[in-house]
Amino acid sequence: MTDRLIIALAQLDPTVGDIAGNLAKFKKARDEAAAMGADLVVSTELFVAGYPPEDLVLKPAFAADCEAAVKQFAREMGPGPAAIVGTPWRQDGKLYNAAALIDDGKVVALRFKHELPNYGVFDEKRVFASGPVPGPLVVRGVRIGLLICEDMWTVDACEGLAESGAQMLLVINGSPYERDKRDERVSLAVTRVTETGLPLAYVNQVCGQDELVFDGGSFVLDSDGVLKVQAADWRETLVKTEWRRGADGSWHPDKGAMVPPTDELASIYRAMVLGLGDYVRKNKFPGVVLGLSGGIDSALCAAIAVDALGADKVHCVMMPSRYTSRDSLEDAEAVAKFLGIDLRTIDIEPAVKAFGGMLAPSFAGRDNDITEENLQSRARGITLMALSNKFGWMVLSTGNKSEMSVGYATLYGDMCGGFAVLKDVYKMTVFALSRWRNESRPDGLLGPKGRIMPGRVITKPPTAELKANQTDQDTLPPYDKLDDILECLVEHEMPVNEIVARGHDEATVRRVWRMLDRAEYKRRQAPPGVKITRRAFGRDRRYPITNGFTDAKGLPTAEPGETPRAPTPVAT
C-alpha cells in the first residue's frame, strides 16, 4: 500500500464535438504528467465530448464515437499514470454523463453523474439519465471518491462516498464563469470537506463555448478546509498535486502552487477575451470586423478583439454620416492607432440618401422621426455584413447590456453581428473596464501595453450621433441610475417599491420596467455573447414576447391609453 500519491489535474480547453482533438490534448497532458511522476491524471467533465455538448449527445453516432475513442485511447495508453476522463457513456439503454477510470490498457471502472442540474444554463435532465450515488474508485490502493460537478453541490453523493470508505474527494467540473462564482465554489467545497472530513481536489476546464466561458481556477483543500493548491484562472495548465498518508491512515495534500485569483474587473475582461477568442478560432473565422464609431463601446470591443486575436485579425470601419462629429472621427483614428489595427472609412451618406429617395413617396406628408435615424444604423449594418460576406470576417456587435435591456438598439442595424462581446456587461462596467484596460494589461493578452483609447472616449457623453446634438440621456436616465434599476429588475427580480426605496424616482423605475419588458422581441434576435452575470439574456432570463401580464404586487401597470407590450422603436 502506497503512502504517497501524485495526482495531475488537467485544466484544459476542449472543443465541443472534436473527439479526436480533445483526446490528443489529454494524451499530451498525460505524457507531461508521466514526466512529473504522476500516479493519476484527471480531465474535466465530459472532456471527450467537450462541455456542454447539449443535444449533440442525443445523436447515437456521437455517443458511440465517444465510447469507441475512449476504449481506443485506453488500448494505446501504454505504461504510466492511470487516467480519469469525462465522457458520455451508454449503459442499459440509458445515456450518462460519465467518468471513465483507465488503467492497464482498459476502462477499469465507470462512474455516472448523480445530480443533474436543471436550472440557469443547465439542462442536463433532458439528455442524461441520473446515475446512482457513486462508490469510491481504487487507484494505486487509494479509495478516491469521484464526483462530477453538480454532485459536489449537494450533500448526498459526498456523504455516500464518505460512508463507503472514500479517503479523498476528487471533483471533475465544467463550471461556467459568472461574477462571484469562484468564491461560491470554494465555500461550497469547504462545506463538503467539513461534512465529510475528507480532503478535496477540484479541477475545472478553461474555455469558451458559445455564450459560456469557463475560468479554470482548479484548487485543492485539506481535510480542515485549508487551501493547499490554487491553479491559475483563465489559462490551460497541468497542476501537480502531491498527497501523503498520515499515521492514522488519512490522506493529506502537500502545499503546492498558489496562484492568486484574478480580481473582478480583470476576470470580466479575461472572460470576454477568452469567449471571443475561442468562438472565432473554433469556428474558423479568419478575423472580425466592427464599426469603430469613436464611442466607448466600440473602442472597448476593438481592444478585446485585439487582445483575443491579435491586431492583424481585427478590421474596423468608421462609417460617418452628416451627424458624425469631428471628435468622433479623431477618436476612432486614435483608437486604431493605439491598437495598431486596420481602419477604413466608408461614408454612409450615399446609402442614406438612396433609401430616403426610395421611401419618399411612401413617407410623403410625414415628418422625419426615428425612422430616418434607424436608416442610418441599418446602412451601417449592411456595410459591415457586405465586408463580412466578401472577406469571411465575423461581424462583432458592440452593444452592451444596458442598451439591450431597454431596447436602445436597432434590429438589422447595430444589432447585426455574429457575436456580441459586451452583451452581458452593463454600461457603467464598460466605463470601469475601459479605465482599467488603459492602465493594465494582464499577461497572455495579444494587445499592446499602455493606453488603448483616448481619455476623451471615456469622459464624453455617450451618443449614437443619429441626429444633431444627440446624447443617450435624451431618452434614457443617466447610466448610473439606469444600471442600478436594471440590476434590480434583471438580476434580482425586485418589485418596484423596493427599487424606489433605494432612492430612485418611481416614474423612472416604471418607465425602465416597461422598456425592459417591451424589448424582449429584440433580444430574441440578438447574436450570442459572453455570459458574465447570473441572469444573462437568452441563457438565464427567458421571458415570453407575447405577454399580457401587466400588474402584480409592486409592479407597474400600463399608463392610461398605453399599449402595454407594443414594441418601442429606438434609434440607436
Does residue 274 lie in a domain region?
A: yes
386/309 same-domain check: yes
Q: Please write the tens of the pLDDT for every residue from 188-212.
A: 999 999 999 999 999 999 999 999 9
182/276 same-domain check: no
271/250 same-domain check: no
150/277 same-domain check: no
Burial class (CB in 10 A: 0-12, 13-18, 19+), 534: middle
Would the pLDDT of 560 be above 50? no
Would the pLDDT of 551 be above 60? no
244/272 same-domain check: no
* Catalytic-role residue among 25, 113, 240, 531: 113
341/281 same-domain check: yes
% of the chain exceeding 70 in pLDDT:
94
CATH classification at residue 390:
3.40.50.620
Q: Please write the tens of the pLDDT for every residue from 403-452.
A: 999 998 888 888 999 999 999 999 999 999 999 999 998 889 999 999 99
Would the pLDDT of 570 be above 70? no
C-alpha cell at 152: 459536489
144/68 same-domain check: yes
CB 148 within 8 A of CB 97: yes
* Catalytic-role residue among 25, 115, 124, 149: 149
Boundary-marking domain end, from 230, 261, 292: 261
pLDDT given for residue 1 in this prediction = 64
Is residue 50 within a helix (H) or strand (E), and if so which, with residue range?
Answer: none
DSSP 150: G
Boundary-marking domain end, from 200, 232, 261: 261
Does residue 441 lie in a domain region?
A: yes
> How far are the Cα atoms of 41, 65, 74, 100 from residue 97, in angstroms, in the given order?
19, 15, 19, 10
CATH classification at residue 167:
3.60.110.10
Indicate if 333 belongs to the active site: no
141/236 same-domain check: yes
Does residue 501 lie in a domain region?
A: no
> How far are the Cα atoms of 25, 146, 233 from residue 29, in angstroms, in the given order?
6, 20, 18
% of the chain exceeding 90 in pLDDT:
76
pLDDT bracket for residue 121 (50, 70, 90): confident
Buried b or exposed e, range 213-231, using 16+ CB within 10 angstroms: bbbbbbbbbbbebeebbbb
Is the model more confident about 550 or about 546? 546
DSSP letters along 7-28, please?
EEEEE----TT-HHHHHHHHHH
Would the pLDDT of 331 be above 70? yes
214/276 same-domain check: no
Would the pLDDT of 475 be above 90? no
Average pLDDT over residues 465-491: 82
139/85 same-domain check: yes
Would the pLDDT of 280 be above 80? yes
Question: Which of 47-61, 213-227, 262-276, 465-479 has the least mean pLDDT?
Answer: 465-479
Count structural domains, the chain: 2
167/71 same-domain check: yes
Does residue 341 lie in a domain region?
A: yes
Query: Domain residues for 390?
Result: 266-468+519-523
Indicate if 301 belongs to the active site: no
pLDDT given for residue 173 in this prediction = 94
238/270 same-domain check: no
C-alpha cell at 92: 442499459
> How far are the Cα atoms of 190, 197, 210, 329, 396 from residue 528, in angstroms, in the given order?
34, 43, 7, 29, 10
Would the pLDDT of 557 be above 60? no
Does residue 481 lie in a domain region?
A: no
Boundary-marking domain end, from 261, 296, 326: 261
| pTM (predicted TM-score) | 0.91
